[in-house]
Structure 1
Amino acid sequence: MSEHARPDAGAERQSGILGMIERAGNRLPDPVFIFFYLIIAMAVISTIAWFFNWSVEHPTARDAAGDPLVVSAVSVFHPDSLRHLLVDMPRIFTGFHPLGYVLVVMLGAGVAERAGLFGTAMRAAVRDVPRLFLTPAVALVAMMGNLAADAAYVVLIPLAAVIYAAAGRHPVAGITAAFAGVSGGFSANLLPGQLDALLFGITEAAVVALDPTWTMNIAGNWFFIAAMTFVYLPIIWFVTDRIVEPRLGPWSGGTVAGGGETPETDPEGETTPAQKKGLAHAGVAVLLVCLVWLFLTVDVVSLVTLGAFSLYGGNAPLYLGDPANEVTENLVPFFSSLVAGFMILFVFAGIAYGRAAGTIKDHRDIVDMMAGAMKDMGYYLVLAFFAAYFVELFNQSQLGLISAVNGADAIRDSGLPLPIVLGLIVVFAGLLNLFVGSASAKWALMAPVLVPMLMLLNVSPEMATAAYRVGDSATNIITPLMVYFPLVLVFARRWVPEFGIGSLTSAMIPYSIWLLIAGIIMTVGWVYLGLPLGPGAEVAFTLPQAG
């Protein structure tokens, strides 16, 4: 690896707060042991919380008598807790949310990467593209990639590194830009997606107590999240090109992970005839896979015959077809299938490329490539075990729910002007996001308090949801408790082995700060101006008159 590719080569030159954070963070133990120490700390804290009987009333659940259910802290050393943690250890590990997504996609990506498809395609794609426009392109695709949910993390982020390296730019800058788009811009998009359906379903349940006639509008934040996309795009562009990449230094370590060169690449960067043939074959494979997914989503036969005959005997496998649902709700199976779709697409495209380019001789090469991808994920598997155990222990202690409810109550009782309250909701959601990763879990805890409170202040449920989404996105990228944070660290270490948790945190902090500031200003300004949040969704809200 070139010396220019090593962060330590320039680490001594770093100064200021970010340099201090990087150096301090890189002195921390390995992330595996950080989670191990957090498990020990959580065991102690949960026992203290249990001893002092920390508890809250659950905002929605009721006991048998109809009274609010009291949720109390649970000690790790309670017999039931210990029994669960020891007996269900395999299930806790295998049930870790991102584990299956990561391994499935990486099986396919391993074939496409090792066959040479990624390196060749990215080199051809960016050879004539100005370096200046790489960052906004990556950031926009990353934000739009949220429609693919978890697949965006395991597909777009490592691809961004390849794109940057192929363009002669530092691949870690590509990783940070993509991570900022996918995770920091988690709610920003030009189109509503499955996250909208998920969050508004929770919002609707919170509204019923005050207005049983209110119905969920899946596009209730459409205009708002589209505006977020255009607000966040220049921020990610500026932070990447003007703050993060200069701190990383120049890159001369090659176009593939580890500093090597893409196989079969002409020394002057031109694509060889075999590679061009491989790209053409891979393009056909990609088209065929996309057509298959379209066929599974749209009943082509019944569409052509105007409903006279249904090939599937009902709805298409990836489309619910319920007339009572919005189109996006009916497409939830399609969105959820994209992880499998990417895996299949990468496998077939990689095979098509490799057979034509000569990098795949027989089926054993395909198996070796998949095995190699799993070998690269060995560290992540170890890390995922400890991370899964900590997340399970934290949830079981009930401390996440207790802290969320108490924090929401504090905002409710603040008595501050309305725009400031919404700004505080953004800040509170961002702070809470450092401790509770799931967007739906946090909103399920906050919505029953925040949504009715804001409705009584003449703020619509759509605006309450929008404010929450801003805070939930901005701090995703700076907390190691975010389930994909360790994976992004693994991606960075494939290019720069010395890249530590402090390096990644310090690189992402500027994104988080500027996205949070911009999000707060946008939220407060949206309320002051009274702009529509989506079709039929306004900031103002009037409760229906009783009787």
Structure 2
Amino acid sequence: MTFDTSTISRPRIGVRTLNVIENVGNRLPHPVWLFAILSIILALVSALLSALGMVAVKPDGEAAPINNLASLEGVRFALSSVIDNFMAFPPLGVALVALLGLAVADRSGLITAFMRQSLARVSPRFLTPVVAFTGSVAHVAGDAGYIILIPLAGIIYRSMGRSPITGALVALAALSGGSSASPILIPNDAIFSGLTTAAAQTVDPDYVMTPVGNIYFTVVSSLFLTLVITVVVDGFLSKRIERRLPIDVDAEESARHEPLSTAEVRGLRNVGIALSVYIIGLIVATIPTGSPLRGEDGGIIDSVLIDSVAVFLALFFAIAGTVYGISVKKIRTSADIPDLAADGLKDITPIFVLFFAVSQFLAYFNWTNIGTLIATSGAHFLEGMNAPNLVIFGGMLLIVSVMNFFITSGSAQWSLVGPVFVPMFMLLDISPETTTALYRIADSCTNIITPMSPYFALTLGIMRGYRKDVGIGSLFSQTLPLSIALFIVWTAVFALWYLIGLPLGPGAPVR
């Protein structure tokens, strides 16, 4: 006797659990207000610790008493330093410069055309790995990558006779589950490095993590995650989706995947030529030992090219977007270029609003010396445990992964936990680059299973276009195996990386 498992209703307990998580997450305030509330809590805690006479001992042996943020002196500092806190916030300038160039590339239509061209002539056999790898590249487009690739993947899968639900799931897994792994530099690299630098400078005022501090690790990770997504989807989930979530007969027809126009193809070709010239030009300009792109000692690692990589990244996208825009008549005069940049920046202004709130909280946190107290106390506790570093790393991964269910913004969460973990781990001789690499893993893998993620909701909406009764439990049951597999494999890759002692990036040893 055989049973048709597609007729068995999904257990209600799983749906109820998800609803509880969703309700709790929906009650959390906007990240800006969350940091405002945390600032009030910080003031109260600093008042209590100051009254108790708590003192933090810095790594150099200097005693640092806890400063009371609720005192007259604390209020005076909070009110007088608002502008300085924001303007001196490390990620602000780096992110703004990098995103200026990206805005030109996005608004010219280059990013959309590149994604369409990348998936236009793919064999069905290689569809999943190509979509997954394209997702790792699409991180450079930020939110636009999700909005473009998830529905586009569904359309292409359907045009090749496969379930469009599978296509949307693959795109979600690559974009969200591997949100911090890419074969190229992405805006998150600039944002995370800036936040890490701010946290590290509470221990070492001269410490700077560059945007390429994790580049070796993220490039290799993107390849491993592409492989994991391919194996899990094509080896297991694809058949399960086709069996349990067949497309409705009366579902509305999706828009067809239209090929690129002659002008768009010509534009992409021109972009390839222009970027080749740009990259070759940088390489040639770096060759002379006295090149201004090298460091004072003639080195490459400590050089303008590495320290100001956000500038060269912005130029990369600005050149690409300008060449493409001219080719497709999107850019007709020189005035169109700054207009495109300004228009593109409108979509990322929420990042700068968040940066304002975060910069104030971090400044208050550093002023109170509570961060130093937590870091030194935590370091002493971990040292007393005599636990191997890999065990300590596992604890951080679990803590951040759980938090990620409720705080899905990567920059917001790193702003919250970075000032604790980075200094604490530095006192255990663990570099900020290593701590950041760990955070990338924990912050990414659970993104695809939390209903609080806007991209989870976006994917659910697209799936409902193909099958009307798809619910949260349906999507969760498909993303959970992917989340677990990504977490296990990515953690194993990091553990092996750490044991071998490979550098995470230029001048960034893992140990």
Give TM-score scaled by structure 1 length: 0.60
Aligned to 2:3: none
Aligned to 1:272: 261
Q: Does 1:333 align with 2:304?
A: yes
Would the alpha carbon gap of residues 36 and 132 (structure 1) be closer, same or farther in structure 2, given more than 3 Å must change? same
Aligned to 2:323: 352
Distance in 1 between residues matched to 2:257 and 2:114, nearest whole Å: 16
Aligned to 1:7: none
Would the alpha carbon gap of residues 446 and 271 (structure 1) be closer, same or farther in structure 2, given more than 3 Å must change? closer
Aligned to 1:72: 65
**How far is 1:430 from its partner?**
4.2
**How far is 1:427 from its partner?**
3.4
Alignment of 1:115-134 (within 5 A): 115-129=108-122, 130=124, 131-134=127-130
Distance in 2 between residues matched to 1:72 and 1:346, nearest whole Å: 47
Aligned to 2:501: 533
C-alpha contact (below 8 Å) 1:113/1:119 kept by paired residues: yes
Distance in 1 between residues matched to 2:310 and 2:423, nearest whole Å: 25
Would the alpha carbon gap of residues 465 and 78 (structure 1) be closer, same or farther in structure 2, given more than 3 Å must change? closer
Would the alpha carbon gap of residues 443 and 513 (structure 1) be closer, same or farther in structure 2, given more than 3 Å must change? farther
Q: Does 1:168 align with 2:154?
A: yes
Code of the aligned partner of 2:31: P
Distance in 2 between residues matched to 1:281 and 1:77, nearest whole Å: 59
Q: Secondary structure of the equivalent of 2:294?
A: coil
Aligned to 2:508: none
C-alpha contact (below 8 Å) 1:106/1:343 kept by paired residues: yes
Q: Does 1:106 align with 2:76?
A: no
Distance in 2 between residues matched to 1:72 and 1:352, nearest whole Å: 57
Distance in 2 between residues matched to 1:133 and 1:512, nearest whole Å: 17
Code of the aligned partner of 2:22: E
Alignment of 1:77-476 (within 5 A): 77-129=70-122, 130=124, 131-134=127-130, 136-138=132-134, 155=141, 158-159=144-145, 162-168=148-154, 174=171, 177-178=174-175, 180-181=177-178, 183=180, 234=227, 268-299=257-288, 315-320=290-295, 322=297, 329-330=301-302, 332-415=303-386, 421-430=388-397, 437=415, 442-443=421-422, 445-448=424-427, 450-451=428-429, 471-476=438-443
C-alpha contact (below 8 Å) 1:405/1:445 kept by paired residues: yes
Give TM-score scaled by structure 2 length: 0.64
Report Cα offsets for 1:433-468 as digits up to 9, x if no partner.
Answer: 7787587985554344x35xxxxxxxxx9xx99986
Distance in 1 between residues matched to 2:446 and 2:51, nearest whole Å: 29
Aligned to 2:47: 47
Distance in 1 between residues matched to 2:486 and 2:500, nearest whole Å: 22
Q: Secondary structure of the equivalent of 2:63?
A: strand
Moved more, 430-439 or 99-108: 430-439
**How far is 1:178 from its partner?**
4.2
**How far is 1:471 from its partner?**
4.2
Q: Secondary structure of the equivalent of 1:56?
A: strand
Alignment of 1:504-543 (within 5 A): 532-534=500-502
Code of the aligned partner of 2:21: I
**How far is 1:237 from its partner?**
6.2
Report Cα offsets for 1:51-82 as digits up to 9, x if no partner.
Answer: 22333322x21xxxxxx222332221344433
C-alpha contact (below 8 Å) 2:104/2:318 kept by paired residues: yes
Distance in 2 between residues matched to 1:273 and 1:56, nearest whole Å: 66
Code of the aligned partner of 1:533: G
Code of the aligned partner of 1:284: I
C-alpha root-mean-square deviation of aligned residues, in Å?
A: 5.2
Code of the aligned partner of 1:108: G
C-alpha contact (below 8 Å) 1:318/1:333 kept by paired residues: yes
C-alpha contact (below 8 Å) 1:380/1:490 kept by paired residues: no
Aligned to 1:33: 33
Would the alpha carbon gap of residues 495 and 373 (structure 1) be closer, same or farther in structure 2, given more than 3 Å must change? farther
C-alpha contact (below 8 Å) 2:305/2:312 kept by paired residues: no
C-alpha contact (below 8 Å) 2:111/2:141 kept by paired residues: no
**How far is 1:394 from its partner?**
1.8
**How far is 1:296 from its partner?**
3.3
C-alpha contact (below 8 Å) 1:102/1:154 kept by paired residues: no
**How far is 1:225 from its partner?**
9.1
Distance in 2 between residues matched to 1:226 and 1:370, nearest whole Å: 28
C-alpha contact (below 8 Å) 1:426/1:520 kept by paired residues: no
Report Cα offsets for 1:184-211 as digits up to 9, x if no partner.
Answer: 799xxxxxxx99xx99xx9xx99xxxxx
**How far is 1:364 from its partner?**
2.9
Distance in 2 between residues matched to 1:268 and 1:80, nearest whole Å: 62
Report Cα offsets for 1:382-422 as digits up to 9, x if no partner.
Answer: 22211221222222222222112212211222256xxxx33
Distance in 1 between residues matched to 2:490 and 2:381, nearest whole Å: 21
Would the alpha carbon gap of residues 521 and 133 (structure 1) be closer, same or farther in structure 2, given more than 3 Å must change? closer
C-alpha contact (below 8 Å) 2:105/2:322 kept by paired residues: yes
Code of the aligned partner of 1:352: V
Distance in 1 between residues matched to 2:327 and 2:495, nearest whole Å: 56
Distance in 1 between residues matched to 2:246 and 2:367, nearest whole Å: 46
C-alpha contact (below 8 Å) 1:426/1:470 kept by paired residues: no
Distance in 2 between residues matched to 1:124 and 1:230, nearest whole Å: 20
- Structure 1 regions of 5+ residues with no counterpart? 1-11, 62-67, 143-152, 187-193, 207-220, 252-259, 262-266, 300-313, 452-460, 481-487, 498-505, 536-547
Q: Secondary structure of the equivalent of 1:292?
A: helix
- Structure 2 regions of 5+ residues with no counterpart? 1-11, 156-166, 184-191, 205-213, 248-253, 404-412, 462-475, 504-511
C-alpha contact (below 8 Å) 2:100/2:345 kept by paired residues: yes
Distance in 1 between residues matched to 2:316 and 2:479, nearest whole Å: 31
Would the alpha carbon gap of residues 269 and 49 (structure 1) be closer, same or farther in structure 2, given more than 3 Å must change? same
Q: Secondary structure of the equivalent of 2:28?
A: coil
Distance in 2 between residues matched to 1:287 and 1:227, nearest whole Å: 23
Would the alpha carbon gap of residues 533 and 123 (structure 1) be closer, same or farther in structure 2, given more than 3 Å must change? same
**How far is 1:14 from its partner?**
8.0
Report Cα offsets for 1:121-172 as digits up to 9, x if no partner.
Answer: 2101112235411464257659xxxxxxxxxx76567546544443337889
Distance in 2 between residues matched to 1:124 and 1:522, nearest whole Å: 31
**How far is 1:46 from its partner?**
1.9
C-alpha contact (below 8 Å) 1:285/1:352 kept by paired residues: yes
Question: Identity percentage over the alignment?
Answer: 23
Aligned length: 417
Distance in 1 between residues matched to 2:54 and 2:481, nearest whole Å: 35
C-alpha contact (below 8 Å) 1:282/1:352 kept by paired residues: yes
